[in-house]
Amino acid sequence: MKKIIFVAGARPNFMKIAPLLRALKHSAAVRPVIVHTGQHYDTNMSAAFFSDLDINQPHYNLEVGSGTHAEQTAAIMTRFEKVCLAEKPAMVVVVGDVNSTIAAGLVAKKCGVCLAHVEAGLRSRDLAMPEEINRMATDAITDLFFTTEPEAKRNLLAEGHADAKIHFVGNVMIDNLLYQLDKVKKRPSSGTAKTIKKLLPAKYLCLTLHRPSNVDNRETFTGIVTALAKASASAPIVFPCHPRTRAKIAAFGLSGKFIESGKTDRKLTSGICLLGPLGYNDFLYLWKDAAAVVTDSGGLQEETTALTIPCITIRNNTERPITVSAGSNVLAGIDPGRIMALIEKVLAGTWKKSSVPKLWDGKASERIAKILIKN
């Protein structure tokens, strides 16, 4: 039986390995070993996901915690090397573009282990993004590439990788989305998400913001928040807030522009409602019915595209151009006027009709599983 290590470390990783593990659950050819690096270590952002996404508890938790990019990457490498030496896997599978991705990939290759990268070939062309460096460096040493869109294959071929190593399989994020959406429909949220949703009107928006380029600069973050606060006069905005972003809200004196969810039981007809971090299914329960999602997340750009929900991305570029060409996603940059104008467009009902990309059908993990078993 072939032993394959699947590495997860940050919030998006969990959503990507879950469908792969489900696809291999009954395989007699593969023995999956789950390694959680601990890059995200808050219960609401890591451990709870294993329950939400129907993933077994990891065989290893490296518990690296926070730190600078160098500190975190180095800690993952030194601890993951011990796992590779002990387990002697036939393959290591990494997903996405976080520090865990490149750290585990480097260790795998230095240990002489075949490396597979799920969500390979995506490029933003912005080297100021740590994720772009992680993507490029990981793909430089990868043996098997699994891509979500045709543009990714073109990027990899242009970088000199062999066509035979590149597999266009679709998007495992969408596999997970459709799987969890079915669960949410059968068993709606019973916690904070349900309480807040009862207070919302038919037309509301959901928001996520976490990228350092958006939240670490006082002027940039203040401009974004001010625009959102003005726009929220027309429709309330629900904001499950990353702890780091919440700290910046306090540090920059922006708390007065938000409504704390625990301090209101009135109908939310306007304003930005600030929540704590939510589990995947609880947040899905909220945003699946939103008029639009405002975000700087890569994953949400894809998920909203799959459900044809308007997405306003607070970034100047995207490594997922197919979401823009499909029509669901528009790059707003950080210009307050443009952000407000796009929200107004959504609320006015003039957002153009979008489409779902090829192979975003919930079966990408099955395609990947067949290839992993063969190689």
- Active-site residues, by number, are 210
Q: How distant, in Å, are the alpha carbons of 14, 47, 128, 249, 299 from that of 280?
A: 10, 11, 28, 23, 12
| Residue of 281, 309, 132 whose CA lies nearest to 204 | 309
203 CB-contact burial (10 Å; exposed 0-12 / middle 13-18 / buried 19+): middle
Residue 164 C-beta-side C-alpha neighbours within 13 Å: 1
| Residue of 375, 374, 367 whose CA lies nearest to 23 | 367
Task: Say if residues 45 and 277 touch (Cβ distance below 8 Å).
Answer: yes
What angle, rounded to 10 degrees, do the helices at 298-306 and 172-186 form?
60
Distance CA(17)–CA(19), nearest Å, equals 6
Cβ within 8 Å of residue 188, ≥6 positions away: 194, 285
The residues with which 32 forms a beta bridge, in sequence order, are 4
